[in-house]
Amino acid sequence: MRSIINALRKKCYPICADTNGYYYAQDLGELDNYIASLQGRINKEIEALVGLKEARLYMAGRETEGMRQDYKMPQEVVPKKLVQQLL
């Protein structure tokens, strides 16, 4: 379903979404609000991606310019026991 909605949005269909599901924007304000919400989520995902890439560089033995010199990788973000249970 998501891939269909995404394909329609790419073809300029003004499809928004909320906790109740998908819907057509009724006016510019509604569409603008959804666009702002989507952009905010995208920005947060990009920030997370940048952090993960910096963590990877750190783990590979290289520090990045933006990383604090005193930064230390967390030893265990998710307990190993929990990870094993999830697998």
Integer Cα distance of 53 and 49 in angstroms:
6
Please state the domain extents for the chain.
2-86
Say if residues 64 and 57 touch (Cβ distance below 8 Å).
Answer: yes
Q: Of 10-19, 62-71, 75-84, which gets the smallest average pLDDT?
A: 75-84
- pLDDT confidence band for 15 (50 / 70 / 90): very high
Output the pTM of the full model.
Answer: 0.65
Q: What is the pLDDT of residues 62-77, one digit of tens each?
A: 665 556 555 565 555 5
Q: What is the pLDDT of residues 36-51, one digit of tens each?
A: 999 999 999 999 998 8
- pLDDT confidence band for 22 (50 / 70 / 90): very high
Predicted local distance difference test score (pLDDT) of residue 56: 86
Predicted local distance difference test score (pLDDT) of residue 72: 61
- The mean pLDDT of the chain is 82
Residue 65 C-beta-side C-alpha neighbours within 13 Å: 0
